[in-house]
């Protein structure tokens, strides 16, 4: 079997998921995992598909033909990455007033500790006491076993104070 990672973007309209899933299924592909959203009037998604080796090129060609219907699909062949056994999984939750640079500052700190971001979800929400926009982020992280989690917490708290956001590690 060949594993494919697909990214998809198109002007949002009903039927896009059906169109994509039909193309995958009619070329003997199996839809495995996905995350899809409407963002700024666009439909955007990422998904993994498995397909018999003999059908991979045919499926890739069929996916490229979707561009003539307004759907841009980028496909990459992939092998399953393994998570190191000497690591810890933690979650990060962040909320605070929206301002440029929040993701950059937090991701730089995580990178210094060689922490891998497995999943990141962000959104803007209205504050409960005011109409101000709050930036909210949730992330699943893989932390190498040698990282001192107290040191990481202190580092993130320093950034949180500078950015005026609340950060929680679980």
**C-alpha count within 13 angstroms, C-beta hemisphere, residue 124:** 10
pTM: 0.78
What's the pLDDT score for residue 82?
A: 59
What's the pLDDT score for residue 132?
A: 83
CATH of residue 51: 3.30.70.260
Write down which residue in 61, 78, 95 finishes a domain: 78
Same domain? For 68 and 104 the reply is: no
Model pLDDT for residues 39-59, shown as the tens digit of each residue? 999 999 999 999 999 999 999
The CB density around residue 63, as the number of other CB atoms within 10 Å, is: 23
Question: Would the pLDDT of 159 be above 80?
Answer: yes
Same domain? For 64 and 126 the reply is: no
What is the rounded CA–CA span in Å between residue 34 and residue 7? 10
Determine the structural domain holding residue 67 and report its residue range: 2-78
Residue 99: closest CA among 164, 10, 3: 164
Same domain? For 45 and 118 the reply is: no
Same domain? For 91 and 165 the reply is: yes
Write down which residue in 51, 78, 105 finishes a domain: 78
Same domain? For 66 and 15 the reply is: yes
Model pLDDT for residues 78-108, shown as the tens digit of each residue? 976 555 678 899 999 999 988 889 999 999 9
Same domain? For 96 and 116 the reply is: yes
- Residue 127's pLDDT band (cuts 50, 70, 90): confident
Model pLDDT for residues 5-43, shown as the tens digit of each residue? 999 999 999 999 999 999 999 999 999 999 999 999 999
Same domain? For 109 and 60 the reply is: no
The SS3 assignment for 93 reads strand
Write down which residue in 12, 43, 78 finishes a domain: 78
Same domain? For 98 and 159 the reply is: yes
């Amino acid at each position: 079997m060949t594993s494919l990672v697909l990214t998809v973007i198109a002007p949002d309209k009903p039927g896009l998921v059906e169109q994509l899933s039909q193309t995958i299924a009619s070329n003997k592909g199996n839809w495995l995992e996905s995350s899809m959203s409407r963002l700024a009037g666009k439909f955007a998604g990422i998904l993994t598909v498995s397909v018999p080796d003999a059908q991979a090129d045919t499926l890739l060609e069929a996916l490229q033909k979707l561009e003539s219907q307004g759907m841009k699909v980028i496909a990459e062949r992939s092998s399953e990455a393994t998570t190191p056994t000497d690591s810890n999984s933690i979650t990060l939750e962040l909320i605070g007033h929206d301002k440029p640079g929040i993701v950059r500052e937090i991701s730089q700190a995580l990178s210094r500790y060689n922490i891998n971001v497995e999943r990141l979800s962000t959104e803007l929400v209205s504050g409960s006491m005011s109409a101000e926009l709050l930036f909210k982020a949730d992330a699943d992280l893989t932390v190498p076993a040698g990282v001192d989690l107290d040191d990481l917490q202190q580092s993130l708290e320093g950034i949180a104070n500078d950015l005026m956001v609340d950060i929680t590690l679980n």
